[in-house]
Amino acid sequence: MEPVLELRQVSKRYPGHEAVRELSLQVPRGALFSLLGPSGCGKTTTLRLVAGFEQPTTGDIYLNGVRINSLKPYERNVSTVFQNYALFPHLTVRGNIEFGLRRRTAEAERRVRELIELMHLEGKEDRRISEISGGERQRVALARSLAVAPEVLLLDEPLSALDPKLRKQVRAELRSLQRRLGVTFVLVTHDQEEALSISDLIGVMNQGRLEQVGEPREVYRRPRTRFVASFLGAVNWVDGVGVRPEATRISSAPPTADVGSIPATVRETIFLGNCIHVEAELEDGEVVVAEVGWQDGRFARGDRVYLWWDRADELRFTE
Amino acid sequence: MSRLLALYAAAIYAFLHLPLLILAIFSFNASRFTIWEGFSLRWYRAALENPQLLETCWNSLVIAAAATLVATCLGTLCAYGLWKRRSAPMAAGLYISLVTPEVVMGISLLAFYQWLFRYLDVRPGLHTVVAAHVTFCLAYVVLVVLARLRTLEPALEEAAMDLGATEWQAFRRVTLPLLGPGIAAAAMLCFTLSFDDYVITSLVAGVDSETLPMVIYAMARRGVSPVVNAVSTIIVFGLGILVLAAGRLQRA
Amino acid sequence: MLAPAAVWMAVFVAAPLGVVAAYSFLTRGPYGGLSEPWTLENYVRLADPLYLRIVARSFRIAAVTTALCLLLGFPLALFLARSGGRKHLLLALVILPFWTSYLVRTYAWMFLLRDTGLVNTLLVEAGLLERPLPLLYNEGAVILGLVYGHLPFMVLPIFAVLERLDRSLVEAAADLGARPLETLVRVVLPLARPGIVAGALLVFIPCLGAYLTPDLLGGGKTVMVGNLIQSQFTAARDWPFGAAVSLALMALVMLGLTVFLRRGGERFL
């Protein structure tokens, strides 16, 4: 099946700074694809390249197999949900949602009505943007972008403007919305929990480069680079080998089976509610964290222990 | 689209600046007609040798200097007062003075002076013109100085008083120096407005207090004279420098 | 702090206006002075078609000037708002000529437009004209002069609003399929409205009371309210009538000011 969106060796260079380096990726139709990375890694630039607000210095962008490099934003059938929503203050909720409709066909009207219902905005259509809440504004922005029936919906850090308490809930709603509509979503975020929890595919970016693309499980458990490993979750580094805290176990006696292990002294135990983090110091001074169940409160400061892990959980890198 | 806009902007800039530039260029025209006949300074010489022009220019300078002095002092104090505490009547008065058409301000002062002169033996002269100029410049001074005040931290004076300064000392040693550029800018603006004024001045001036704009107006009314071109160029050049300096100071 | 200025304003603004108000109810004396009786005659005279024509002309000229300033000024303000780092320099270049001599700037147009002026001379020399065009001493020249003098007042408030316009709104409009012209009309223009209204008031109101421009560029043939007032206090020597016209003009101006302030216009000053 042809991917709905494809980038081939796309680079974006600014004077003195390369924002995106030879990035190639394919987004399958109907997927929720997350571009994940720290600030400044080029993910937002990539989004803007797809939307048409920037032009690639080199490389090509294909939408449904058609090269769209030379198309202006208003000629591309992709739609963006901006980080600050960019809702038109002089229009009502309905005015905003209907803004992109070319003609008032019955089909379009029906879509708008459905979207208003889907977004729980009934009764608020005639309100001004200044009169609705932050969460409602996001829903209006979503409805507005979806009303033009785009091939791909681009979302720039959709949850960052929201109240932290709302984020988990809205995250889930976003996912179920995407599933329900079947529209391809490309989402940009720096929050790895967000990316892991709702994506079909994650593309991890660092300093303009795409370091790995894969399903969440894949990217988390089999990271291809050190960066991907440490960005997606915590990693313990023991002699150049990475082991995640949740895969690191502790025992008082040296393990007998064929597992990786190393002796250590307990420095601190931190109770986190649902689990305990045991900080242990290795002989070379390195501090390692083991995540154990909350019932497992056997360890105290100063205890000499053995940390061990399944060889299969080792993360090895060639760099 | 932006190419088009830039071209359009260039056209508008030409519209705004060309008339003055052309005037300046033709002030150096050897001929008195509008056909270029060579470079010459004869009109400048004629202007500088014209006693009426020189005398009225001196009058204008004196009036402008005096009006600037008074208006700047009054205006600065007023702006300071408004900054400290809003006053709707004062603000209203200033707005009114800003929007009053020059003609109306002129005739009202004329009527007022006339009425006044019945009871006080004061005749129209330089001082009545100065008073009129102070009146219409005041609001501009307040506007400029107030804008400058609004960029200052209100806490500065409080800090000074906290360290032992009286209100007056705080004003003099903290606010005033910081206001310096703003006051200077306001003064320059005031000078420009006063020097150039025709409408109000023509209505309240006496026989011996003719100003340069009045002479220029009379000459312009009679028809175009190249001497006027020369004088105009000098005026624009001089005032232009003043305005540039004022702008620099405001941004300092 | 406020006292000195307040006293000055009371003496030199309020009192004179009060005197004018009083005079407007008096009658013209036999030698052009003032005399009793107190009357409303002067205000009634304003309804005379002769004077109504002048008022209508003033409104017309002010309206046309405002419209032209808007048409010419809006694209310029748009250009300035988009010109990035140089915008303040470019803005200064617009305002600079305005702060030199108004008299000289008006005279410059006389120099250009008169029968033996530059424009006519060039056109005749180039063979495009046989006789010079009467470009000066008519309503068109007055409007030109007023537009020339008041353009910055329209540009500045619109620029102030456009400068603060959220760029992402323009991007969002394009993203949703609007071409540049459509974005301008459907998003930028509505959001620029406060600036446009402020600019319109800042041009229209002063133009109503214009004196120097119609006097010099209109050659005395284009009489506006300002000219009427001036003539009453000089040549015609009918101070009470002049006072009445002045007060009527002031009433209009005050109305304009009130509307301006109500709409929060002071942030543009």
> Which of B33, B21, B227, B233 lies closest to C114 in space, CA to CA?
B33
Task: Collect all residues of chain C within an 8 Å Cβ-Cβ radius of residue B96.
Answer: 13, 254, 257
State the average pLDDT for chain A.
91
* Touching, A vs B (3+ Cβ pairs under 8 A): no
Q: How many CA atoms lie within 13 A of C57 on its CB side?
A: 22
Question: Is C248 within the bounds of a domain?
Answer: yes
Report whether pLDDT(A128) > 80: yes
Q: What are phi and psi of A289, to 5 degrees?
A: -115, 130
* Higher pLDDT pick, A154 / C7: A154
- Nearest CA of chain B to the CA of C148: how many Å? 7
Q: Decide the pairing of beta strands A58-63 and A66-67.
A: antiparallel
Report whether pLDDT(A296) > 80: no
Number of neighbours of residue C27 by Cβ within 10 angstroms = 17
pLDDT of residue B224: 64
Instruction: Give the pLDDT band (50/70/90) at residue A297.
Output: low
Give the residue-averaged pLDDT of A259-282: 89
Report whether pLDDT(A5) > 90: yes
DSSP string of A107-169?
A: HHHHHHHHHHHHTT-TT-TTSBGGGS-HHHHHHHHHHHHHHT--SEEEEESTTTTS-HHHHHH
Highest mean pLDDT among A129-138, A155-164, A200-209: A200-209
Report whether pLDDT(C131) > 90: no
Would you kindly state where each structural domain of chain A is located, as residue ranges? 5-229, 234-313
Q: Of C166, C168, C176, which has the smallest distance from its Cβ to A100's Cβ? A: C176
Question: Is C26 within the bounds of a domain?
Answer: no
User: Contact A274/A267 with Cβ under 8 angstroms?
Assistant: no
pLDDT of residue B118: 80
Question: Is C140 within the bounds of a domain?
Answer: yes
Give the residue-averaged pLDDT of A112-138: 91
- In sequence order, the β-bridge partners of residue A7 are A25, A61
Q: Three-class SS of residue C127?
A: coil
> Which of C2, C1, C5 lies closest to C13 in space, CA to CA?
C5
Q: Which of A42-56, A102-116, A189-203 has the lowest mean pLDDT?
A: A102-116
Q: How many CB pairs under 8 A join A and C?
A: 54
Instruction: Give the pLDDT band (50/70/90) at residue B252.
Output: low
pLDDT of residue A197: 94
Cα–Cα distance, C254 to C263 (Å, whole number): 14
pLDDT of residue C125: 81
* Higher pLDDT pick, B174 / A206: A206
Give the residue-averaged pLDDT of B98-106: 91
Domain count, chain C: 1
What CA–CA distances, in Å, run from C31 to A130, B157, C252? 66, 60, 31
pLDDT of residue A319: 66
Give the residue-averaged pLDDT of B140-159: 86
DSSP string of B59-98?
A: HHHHHHHHHHHHHHHHHHHHHHHHHHS--HHHHHHHHHHH
pLDDT of residue C250: 92
Task: Collect all residues of chain C within an 8 Å Cβ-Cβ radius of residue A52.
Answer: 174-175
Report whether pLDDT(B32) > 80: no
Q: What are the pLDDT digits (tens) for C211-249?
A: 999 999 988 788 999 999 999 888 888 888 889 999 999
> Which of A233, A231, A237, A234 lies closest to A286 in space, CA to CA?
A237
Q: What are the pLDDT digits (tens) for A143-185?
A: 999 999 999 999 999 998 888 888 889 999 999 999 999 999 9
Contact A86 C191 (CB under 8 A): no
Q: How many CB pairs under 8 A join B and C?
A: 229
Cα–Cα distance, C163 to C236 (Å, whole number): 49
Chains touching B (at least 3 CB pairs under 8 A) are C
Cα–Cα distance, B218 to C184 (Å, whole number): 48
- CATH number, position C218: 1.10.3720.10
Percent of chain B with pLDDT over 90: 29
pLDDT of residue A8: 95
Contact C151 B100 (CB under 8 A): no
> Which of A186, A148, A162 lies closest to A50 in space, CA to CA?
A186
Cα–Cα distance, C169 to A80 (Å, whole number): 12
Number of neighbours of residue A273 by Cβ within 10 angstroms = 6
Record: fold of A234-313: OB fold (Dihydrolipoamide Acetyltransferase, E2P) (2.40.50)
pLDDT of residue B90: 85
What are the residues whose beta carbons fall under 8 Å from the beta carbon of B121, sequence distance 6 or more?
A: none
> Which of C57, C232, C101 lies closest to B103 in space, CA to CA?
C232
Instruction: Give the pLDDT band (50/70/90) at residue A33.
Output: very high
Nearest CA in chain C to A74: C177
Containing domain of residue C105, as a range? 41-268
Nearest CA in chain C to B82: C2
Length of chain A, in residues:
319
Superfamily of domain A5-229: P-loop containing nucleotide triphosphate hydrolases (3.40.50.300)
Residue C137, Ramachandran bin (φ over 0: left; ψ between -120 and 50: alpha; else beta): left
Give which of B16, B80, B117 to mutate to test C binding, by max C Cβ within 10 Å. Answer: B16
Record: fold of B51-251: MetI-like fold (1.10.3720)
Instruction: Give the pLDDT band (50/70/90) at residue C181.
Output: very high
Give the residue-averaged pLDDT of A51-80: 94
ipTM, interface predicted TM-score of the complex? 0.86
Q: Of B101, B220, B243, which has the smallest distance from its Cβ to C100's Cβ? A: B243
Report whether pLDDT(C119) > 70: yes
What CA–CA distances, in Å, run from C26 to B106, B114, B242, C23? 19, 15, 45, 5
* Touching, C vs A (3+ Cβ pairs under 8 A): yes
Report whether pLDDT(A289) > 80: yes
Would you kindly state where each structural domain of chain B is located, as residue ranges? 1-40, 51-251
Percent of chain C with pLDDT over 70: 97
pLDDT of residue C269: 62
- Nearest CA of chain C to the CA of B250: how many Å? 12
Q: Say which amino acid occupies B4.
A: L
Give which of C176, C183, C193 to mutate to test A binding, by max A Cβ within 10 Å. Answer: C176
Instruction: Give the pLDDT band (50/70/90) at residue C150.
Output: very high
Cα–Cα distance, C217 to C212 (Å, whole number): 8
Q: What are the pLDDT digits (tens) for A46-55?
A: 999 999 999 9
Report whether pLDDT(C207) > 70: yes
